[in-house]
Amino acid sequence: MNSILYLMSRIIKNKFRQLLNKPAMVILYLLAIVFLAYSLFYSFSSPPRQASSENIQWLFVFFAFYLIIFYYSAVSKGLSSGSSFFDMSDVNLLFCAPVNPKHILAYGICSQAGKSLLGGIFLLLQGSTFVSLGLNTLDLLLFFGGYVLSLLLFEFMSLAIYILSNQKETIKQLIKVIALLPFLLLLLFFLNNFQRSGDLKLALLSSVEKGALKFLPVAGWITESLRNYLSGNIREMGFSLLLTLLTGVLFLAVIILYHSDYYEDVLVATETAFEKKRAINEGDINAISNTHKKIRKGKRTLEGLGSKAIFYKHLLESSRSNRFFLLDGSSFLMIAGANIAAFFSKGDISPVLLLVISMYLQSFFIGTGRGMKELYSHYIYLIPESPFKKIIWSNGEIIAKHILESLFMFLLPLLFTNWNPVTVLLCALCRSVFSIFLVSANLLSQRIFKDVISQGFLLIIYLLFIIFVMLPGVIAAFAFYMAGKLAWGLFALSLWEAFLSLLFFYLSRGVLHNSDILTLQKKN
């Protein structure tokens, strides 16, 4: 055990040493810590507000839905390659060392817990949101703890599912049924409430209030424990939390006891992740996107000359790999969420509020599309055209995707709301251009940091940067809004986003000027 403690202390010490050798990064981390501390201080020092029962119920709905995404991912990974708490360096050194396997597993769990802790730091930035709901700092920390605990348990779940189902098709099918059964029970509970009330919104919130989330393993139990805590039902909270912890113990028991050791099962997921990282460094895009999913040939063919050919290639790849062309699962989630919110509110919700919420969520979930992957291969560097033009065309596919998303998000509600069509079109325009701006910001971060900022404290830095550069456009839009000219405000914000997008794409052209730039730093 002393060797494990020594290893962990050296890892932490070396990370600090690496950070101290980069003064600019130290300053950015300090700014992120200050902003995080301000968020916590604001929620702690703000006077208590009257809590809205309906708004808090919606918070539980969104929180449970967010955790369900990780639940689905854990089950999918468990049925394919499994999960791992280790890197290849651990496999090469620790697995061969004369150390108790249980101590090594404890080290892997602590390492994964640390990663989950850093990955959930963005939740602590929601101090103002929790204050507006009538919640305090302790409530914010409890939601943060529930998020971290759920991520850790989902890693256990993924590995346990892999151990039980590896090369056993019958057990895989059984696990799929067991994984979907809780959602069927939840749906039946919701339909029963809807039959009684006749109102979709009331049926959904009533289902949460009556504890329907307890049907969902881990994700629902953690959310239910938080709901019971806020409602003062400590006994039910303890039951849900105990059930969650016992489930985690069950997963660990499967990992430790099902075989004489867990090395072989962990090794598969570790090697899979390592090979993908190595493929990225070598520019092997086919290895990165390797999948057993059936590909449809379709009737489309390659078109275009020069950098335009990259855009048409991406469209061809999307049509072959996706039944709905450009729109994927995340697109339908965004579209469905926006339309359901507009339908439940019966048009009372403003399209501008919907725009603000969608832009906020986009800041966390924006994707870089196939354009970023082109940087890992040599073909884009060989096209004899300007880097700026190549960057624009290589990102054309994801730009088109977000424009389609925005149109479906804002135009479909016109069928059942009384929204102003001009305002709706401008909201769709504003969200579309904001998506392009985020793509360009991610590309610029690739140029500056040689990696995409996407986790931990770097996510806070990324959000601060987005807020800072967007501030002039937001101020102009707010000024027009106060003057009673909302349409002009949305148009001004769209113009500012378009300007930033073109500027960031232009500043990112250096990625193609320096073909030897590391597009992904090696972690192993």
What distance lies between CA 220 and its chain's CA centroid?
Answer: 19
Integer angstrom CA distances of residue 33 from 12, 42, 461, 465: 18, 14, 9, 14
Q: What is the DSSP letter of 359?
A: H
Model confidence at 261: pLDDT above 60: no
Residue-wise pLDDT tens digits, 62-87: 888 888 888 888 888 777 765 566 77
Q: Higher-confidence residue: 263 or 169?
A: 169
- Looking at 271, 292, 311, the residue that finishes a domain is 271
Do 134 and 241 reside in the same domain of the chain?
yes
Length of the chain: 524
The DSSP secondary structure of 123-148, one letter per residue, reads GGGGHHHHHHTT--HHHHHHHHHHHH
pLDDT at 505: 85
Do 170 and 261 reside in the same domain of the chain?
yes
- The residues, ordered by sequence, that sit 6+ positions from 510 with a Cβ below 8 Å of its Cβ are 387, 447
Do 373 and 436 reside in the same domain of the chain?
yes
Do 446 and 483 reside in the same domain of the chain?
yes
Q: What is the mean pLDDT of residues 459-485?
A: 84
Q: Indicate whether 288 belongs to any domain.
A: no
Do 304 and 252 reside in the same domain of the chain?
no
pLDDT at 524: 39
Q: What is the mean pLDDT of residues 425-434?
A: 91
Do 263 and 160 reside in the same domain of the chain?
yes
Do 242 and 121 reside in the same domain of the chain?
yes
* Structural domain boundaries enclosing 180: 24-271
Q: Indicate whether 315 belongs to any domain.
A: yes
Residue-wise pLDDT tens digits, 186-240: 888 888 887 887 777 778 778 888 888 888 888 889 999 998 888 888 888 888 8
E strand or H helix that includes residue 34: helix 23-45
Neighbouring C-beta atoms of residue 70, cutoff 10 Å: 19
Do 256 and 118 reside in the same domain of the chain?
yes
Residue-wise pLDDT tens digits, 360-387: 778 776 666 677 777 767 777 778 888 8
Q: What is the mean pLDDT of residues 138-146?
A: 88
Residue 461 — pLDDT band, cuts 50, 70, 90? Answer: confident
